[in-house]
Amino acid sequence: MKLDRESAGARWIVRPDGCDKVTGKLNFLTDLSFPGMVYGTILRSPYPHARIKAIRTDAAARLPGVVAVITHRDVPGVNRFGIMYPDQPVLCEDRVRFVGDAVAAVAAESEEAAGEALRLIEVEYEELPVIDSPEAALAPEAPRLHPGGNVLHRTHYERGNVEGAFRRCAVIVEETYETPRQMHAYMETEGGLFVPGPDGKLAVYAPTQHGYMDRMQLARILAMPETDIRVVSSPIGGSFGGKDELNIQPYGALLALCCGRPVKIHQSRWESVRAGLKRHPMKIAMKTGVDADGRLLAHRVRILADTGAYATLGAPVLQFATEHAVGPYRIPHVDVEGWAVYTNNGVSGEFRGFGGNQVVFALEGQMDRLAEALGMDAWEFRRINLRGMDDPGPLGQRVAPTDGARHVWETIRRSSLWERRSGRTTDRRAETRLHQRDVSSGSGHVDVRPDNGGSGPAAASFSSPWVRRGVGAAMVMHGCGLGFGIPDPAGGRIGLSAQGNIQVAFGHEEFGQGLLASLQLMIQDLFACDPGDIEIILGDTDRAPHSGSSTASRTTSMVWQALHRLQPHFSRAVCERASTMSGIPVSHLRLGPGGVWAGPERVVRYREIAEKGTEGLQFETQFHFPVTPDAIMGGHYLYTFAGVVTEVEVNLLTGQVTVLGVEHAVAAGPVVNPMGYLGQIEGGNGMALGFALMEDAVMDGSRYVTTNLDTYLIPTIRDVPERIEVYAIEDLPPNDNYGPRGVGEVGSVGLAPAIAAAVRQATGTWINRLPISREQLMRPISTFLHENAPMVSVPDVGKEEG
């Protein structure tokens, strides 16, 4: 089904929070003020790596208007944070490990005074040698960034006998891929409001993707009972994984408790860049071999991830990358090893796609290279290697049966964009055979002249000889939930409120994804009620139960399951009340608009039921995200599948790549909220376009060169194609009761490798590093100065760079 307004029909609804967002009435948490509040600000390290010899705060504390100055000495509890493994100092004691490390924080009556106070804090540093790459971190003589050394996490998955299998391969492709330090670049930078109560309690209004996790971490830092802290965590002006970890919360909380006044913090963009998380830059070496029929035999992967100065979710990200490096393919012999390595480069952590984006770029690159080396159609090559309905997951674990891979494959094959890739790399089989043993390393790409094999009618249709077109496609298999071995609780509550509303409460957040609209639609589906009957409470630890995190493409799935668990209990209890009040037997009653109905008549209003008391009408459920029964660390059980096809145009004089059109096919079970689903894929598409073509938080010697949105470029409305189509495949196998899978991440994964494949077809250049460098694609104008220029062989000047 092509997903759009027309196909969605009545399910295309205006978001419940929409009106407030288009009128500016919606208060983001960084818009809040409080009477008597003061302004908080954080002093961060100017050095990527240094020893702290002394911190002197007296002058700052004496400045008029300053109400609190804190350092590590003022942290009452554990001076560390980190969701998985708390190793990041809230306030550094004796050493800083990246340019965002916090050393002190100030609260003052005005932002000006707070800023002035920061300048008055004297910190004596002694610079230490900087580790600016994972390779440097692994060198034997490298200084140790943490007591356990420089390796945060190591993964290893092996099945079969890879080395033996390589000896039987007809074609082997070996290549190393590199991906950039992508920044979330949410439009609302980190911030919030921290309000101490007279009872010693603390209210935290600050964005996060897991309010209860923030509460737990803050309780540990503040040495306070969790129940004394209330975390209100949404609405949020974008997160994409970047606000899941604590950011400014510890400082706001400490300052508020220290001075006993409400504290507001709102970081500048530069503070956000220097202290905020990024996507792990990865170097991924893959060696992949096939037999003469094109069947994958062996796949060896080595992943080196720059996890930066502290752990946060570096280990699970690497775990996810390790699993997803195998993808939706049948490969008998697999050997994947990964290292997440500490450096002095910022902090890498959670980011939409969670390590999948990097390895799928590499894996799909391998698939395209192998197909070309075999002289096969790139999509057909994927088909003969694609997983089937009952195949195990990438790590050999049992997974929920799914034919998603074949469904999306078929949808892309039939797409009009894929048809435009008519200049297929045929006739190269003979050529390939010549160096079939080692189609790799440098000469790894078969020397294809673009105008020979790479230019079909699509490319020829354009007049300027230096403008080329190409089409490429990629497959994605993306796990939902946190994976085996990580607690992944879910839950929610439903009840009739005192006002007579069907009230649901989830400890999830609305960060733009459209959870409110999804919930409204699900509740209407289940109870046939009016939107006006519904009340939704989200992201508030005082008012909503534990629901786990709003991450990992799990939220829609989990609230759907929770509501399906709760529905029979709630409906029955409400109908029983209505039965008592009306004298009509329960079996004749059902929930409907405004109240309980019997046949065509509403017999009791919800409000009337509520007036008689709502006790016994609240239901809560707690359960766990479905996991594989096989104890394989990180292995997932539910997956979303996606295929992406794109057409690009490359200007060989400027190196500019323009994405002309994209089609996504997504198999994620039933579409709950069409506008939200579509928006997730479209938004992911935009992010992936940036990842492929322009985004990189460049560091030099572990210092950011890109400091704001003038140097860190994200796509504008001019950079995205007008034609993006999304096809939603809703089919699930019979007896599949897991409902909708998540679509929050999958749209951000496949476009980069699809663009790389399209650029290959357009120009003959293989891309193995993102963002695609224009320099790699540019050709001297002399290349085109001859008559019949399109027939001139184009030297692949960029290849040694790539």
Partner 1 sequence: MENDLLLCRRVNGRVASPMPSPFTLTFTVNGQTVSLEVDPTRRLLDILRKDLGLTGTKVSCEIGRCGACTVLLDGKPANACLIMAYQCAGKPVQTIEGVADEDLNAIQRAFLEEGAFQCGYCTPGMIMALEAVFRQKPKPTMEELKEGLTGNLCRCTGYSGIVRALDRLSRRRVESTRAIDRLGSFRRAWPDTQR
Please give the residue ranges that form the binding site for ligand FES (CB under 6 A).
187, 238, 512
- Considering the complex, what minimum distance in angstroms separates the CB of residue 688 from partner 1? 9
Residue whose CB is less far from partner 1, 18 or 485: 18
DSSP label at 748? G
HEC-encoded secondary structure of 280-323: CCEEEEEEEEECCCCCEEEEEEEEEEEEECCCCCHHHHHHHHHH
Interface positions, 506-545, toward partner 1 (CB under 8 A): 510-514, 516, 520, 530-532, 534-540
- Considering the complex, what minimum distance in angstroms separates the CB of residue 711 from partner 1? 9
Interface positions, 695-714, toward partner 1 (CB under 8 A): 708-710, 714
Backbone angles phi and psi of 576, in degrees to 5? -60, -45
Among 134, 507, 684, 771, binds partner 1 (CB under 8 A): 684
- Considering the complex, what minimum distance in angstroms separates the CB of residue 185 from partner 1? 5
Residue whose CB is less far from ligand FES, 238 or 332: 238
Partner that binds at residue 521, options ligand FES, partner 1, none, CB closer than 5 to 8 Å by kind: none
Stretch that binds partner 1, among 66-74, 243-251, 578-586, 686-694 (CB under 8 A): 686-694
- Considering the complex, what minimum distance in angstroms separates the CB of residue 236 from partner 1? 6
Is beta strand 638-651 parallel, antiparallel or unpaired with respect to 618-624? unpaired
CA distance 63 to 536: 46
Tokens of 763: 């120009």
Residue whose CB is less far from partner 1, 78 or 537: 537
Nearest residue by C-beta to ligand FES? Answer: 187
How many residues bind partner 1, per CB under 8 A? 90
**Residue 743 CA: distances (Å) to CA of 211, 227, 512, 639, 670:** 22, 33, 14, 10, 11
Partner that binds at residue 619, options ligand FES, partner 1, none, CB closer than 5 to 8 Å by kind: none
401 binds partner 1 (CB under 8 A): no
CA distance 617 to 602: 20
- Considering the complex, what minimum distance in angstroms separates the CB of residue 547 from partner 1? 15
Residue that has been written with the tokens 């002399």 in this structure: 782
For 577-586, give one letter per residue: b (16+ CB within 10 A) or e: bbbeebebeb
- Considering the complex, what minimum distance in angstroms separates the CB of residue 780 from partner 1? 31
21 binds partner 1 (CB under 8 A): yes
Q: Which residues, in sequence order, are CB contacts of 94 under 8 Å at separation 6+?
A: 51, 52
DSSP string, 678-741: HHHHHHHHHHHHHHHHT----EETTEES--STTTS----TTTS-SEEEEEEE----TT----PP
CA distance 257 to 268: 23
689 binds partner 1 (CB under 8 A): yes
Partner that binds at residue 361, options partner 1, ligand FES, none, CB closer than 5 to 8 Å by kind: none
SS3 115: helix
Residue whose CB is less far from partner 1, 538 or 610: 538
Is beta strand 333-342 parallel, antiparallel or unpaired with respect to 296-308? parallel
Interface positions, 539-578, toward partner 1 (CB under 8 A): 539-540
- Considering the complex, what minimum distance in angstroms separates the CB of residue 187 from ligand FES? 4
CA distance 659 to 650: 9
Interface positions, 651-680, toward partner 1 (CB under 8 A): 675-676, 678-679
- Considering the complex, what minimum distance in angstroms separates the CB of residue 186 from ligand FES? 7
Residue whose CB is less far from ligand FES, 19 or 187: 187
DSSP string, 350-377: --TTTTHHHHHHHHHHHHHHHHHHHT--
- Considering the complex, what minimum distance in angstroms separates the CB of residue 279 from ligand FES? 18
Residue whose CB is less far from partner 1, 88 or 239: 239
18 binds partner 1 (CB under 8 A): yes
Residue whose CB is less far from partner 1, 400 or 522: 522
Residue that has been written with the tokens 């504390």 in this structure: 61
Among 97, 261, 266, 478, binds partner 1 (CB under 8 A): 266
Tokens of 406: 């074949």
Partner that binds at residue 566, options ligand FES, partner 1, none, CB closer than 5 to 8 Å by kind: none
Partner that binds at residue 718, options partner 1, ligand FES, none, CB closer than 5 to 8 Å by kind: partner 1
Q: Are 663 and 417 in contact (CB under 8 A)?
A: yes
720 binds partner 1 (CB under 8 A): yes
| AA letter at 654 | T
Among 57, 182, 234, 319, binds partner 1 (CB under 8 A): 234
- Considering the complex, what minimum distance in angstroms separates the CB of residue 30 from ligand FES? 13
315 binds partner 1 (CB under 8 A): no
Q: Are 755 and 692 in contact (CB under 8 A)?
A: yes
Residue whose CB is less far from ligand FES, 18 or 485: 18
Residue whose CB is less far from ligand FES, 669 or 676: 676
CB count, 10 Å around CB of 726? 25
DSSP label at 453? I
601 binds partner 1 (CB under 8 A): no
CB count, 10 Å around CB of 662? 27
195 binds partner 1 (CB under 8 A): yes
686 binds partner 1 (CB under 8 A): yes
Which DSSP helix (H) or strand (E) runs through 597? strand 595-598
Q: Are 34 and 758 in contact (CB under 8 A)?
A: no
- Considering the complex, what minimum distance in angstroms separates the CB of residue 512 from ligand FES? 5
- Considering the complex, what minimum distance in angstroms separates the CB of residue 349 from ligand FES? 20
Residue whose CB is less far from partner 1, 297 or 659: 659
- Considering the complex, what minimum distance in angstroms separates the CB of residue 494 from partner 1? 15
DSSP label at 167? T
Q: Which residues, in sequence order, are CB contacts of 429 under 8 Å at separation 6+?
A: 374, 375
13 binds partner 1 (CB under 8 A): yes
Longest dimension (CA), the chain: 92
Which DSSP helix (H) or strand (E) runs through 431? helix 429-434
Interface positions, 43-82, toward partner 1 (CB under 8 A): 65
